[in-house]
Structure 1
Amino acid sequence: MCIININAENIDYESALGKLGNSIKLYKIILVGFKNKYANAYDDLVTLGIENNYTEAKILSHSLKGVCGNLGANNLEIISRELEYSYLNEDNKHLQLLDAFKQEVHVVLEDINSILECIDGTNESK
């Protein structure tokens, strides 16, 4: 199976697939959904922070945390959890976390693209 041989350093796809009953089709839905919905999450969080809209920033961080868990993006899940906590407490720690968040989203999106290319190159996603 192609997906086993892929080099995805920032996504634990084997664990994620295990949680999904090894359904590549379902995993692909999650990957594409993340890419479509959260590719601009950093910009969204920055904007919400400028607007002091911590409630929406907390909701976005919480949603990201859950999707990252299903995706296997463990580092991004941890950062999202820390962001959620910061927005909940309005402690401004999020200002220190946003750079790490931006970098991690970037590498996760690169891994998603690689995994999707691999999945699309097999017949197992059908």
Structure 2
Amino acid sequence: PNGQEALNVLRRQSYDLVLMDVQMPVMDGYEATHFLRRLPQFKDLPIIAMTANALHTDRKQALEVGMNDHIPKPIKLQLLLSKLLQWIPPKKSETTVPTNQSLELPPKELPANVPGLAIATALNRLNQNTSLYLRLLDVFQRNQFNTVEKMQELLAEPNLVEAARLAHTLKGIAGSLGAKGLETASRTAEAQLREGNVVPDSLATLEKELKQVLKAVADLLAR
């Protein structure tokens, strides 16, 4: 997804809140927010920035362009929930469904760790929500399986800026899933891409880590 696509979606459908990734191709989150704030229908829409850093400068920049708040990645579920409660006003028509009426199946029991994934660490961030973790793994394998190939195509153009953004996105997702090796490899690749000095070994390491995580994900989802 990119910033322009986010704007198109917001024009078609109303939302209570927007989680805005600041690193997106075509139009980044800062530019998208600046554009939204110029439109009357979006002047009061809560927008929360998501960045890979917890630096004061990131929060300051987010507030300056009109965002309401800031969440660092990898995202911790408790922090996210507190921000949602803070910025989304309750609706009078909302009704609460008793938890004992839930039709969800009992969550699977997962190992604490598998090669490539620190599952216990990730579940701590998600408040031990195993079902949510498995859904995130499924989305990951469907959307990120060819990320390294896309990066290599961008390098051939060459388009280091877009390749760096792919590495940045992969880094944030990997951190949220507990894929520490993949997160580190993505961080290294991103730094080199932004400096314009790509080391082939870094991409090879990134590809190796991604394949390991994808295999672990496939095994977990097949349990």
Same fold (TM over 0.5): yes
Amino acid of the structure 2 residue aligned with 1:113: A
Q: State, as a whole percentage, how many aligned pairs show the same letter.
A: 28
Structure-1 residue corresponding to 2:110:
3
Q: Which runs of 4+ in 1 moved over 4 A?
A: none
Asked if residue 90 in structure 1 is aligned to residue 214 in structure 2, the reply is no
| CA distances 1:68-111 after superposition (whole Å, capped 9, x unpaired) | 00111100000000111011111122x22111111111111010
Structure-1 residue corresponding to 2:180:
74
Structure with the higher fraction of residues in strand conformation: 2
Which whole-Å CA distance do the structure 2 matches of 1:92 and 1:114 have between them?
A: 32
Equivalent residues of 1:54, 1:87 under 8 A apart: yes
Could you tell me which of 99, 104, 107 is aligned with 2:209?
104
Amino acid of the structure 1 residue aligned with 2:156: I
> What's the offset of the Cα at 1:114?
1.3
Which whole-Å CA distance do the structure 2 matches of 1:82 and 1:32 have between them?
A: 25
Which whole-Å CA distance do the structure 2 matches of 1:38 and 1:108 have between them?
A: 11
Amino acid of the structure 1 residue aligned with 2:110: I
Paired residue secondary structure (1:2): coil
Instruction: Write out aligned runs for 1:40-51 (5 A).
Output: 40-51=146-157
Structure 2 alignment gaps of length 5 or more: 1-107
Query: How does the TM-score come out when normalised to structure 1?
Result: 0.86
> What's the offset of the Cα at 1:28?
1.5
| CA distances 1:17-41 after superposition (whole Å, capped 9, x unpaired) | 1101111122122101110111001
Aligned residue pair count: 116
Structure number with larger C-alpha Rg: 2
Which whole-Å CA distance do the structure 2 matches of 1:108 and 1:99 have between them?
A: 14
Structure-2 residue corresponding to 1:124:
none
Amino acid of the structure 2 residue aligned with 1:89: E
Equivalent residues of 2:133, 2:177 under 8 A apart: yes
Which whole-Å CA distance do the structure 2 matches of 1:4 and 1:37 have between them?
A: 24
Question: RCO (CA 8 Å, sep 6+): is it higher in 1 or 2?
Answer: 1
RMSD: 1.4
Query: How does the TM-score come out when normalised to structure 2?
Result: 0.50
Structure-1 residue corresponding to 2:158:
52
Equivalent residues of 2:189, 2:198 under 8 A apart: no
Structure-2 residue corresponding to 1:64:
170
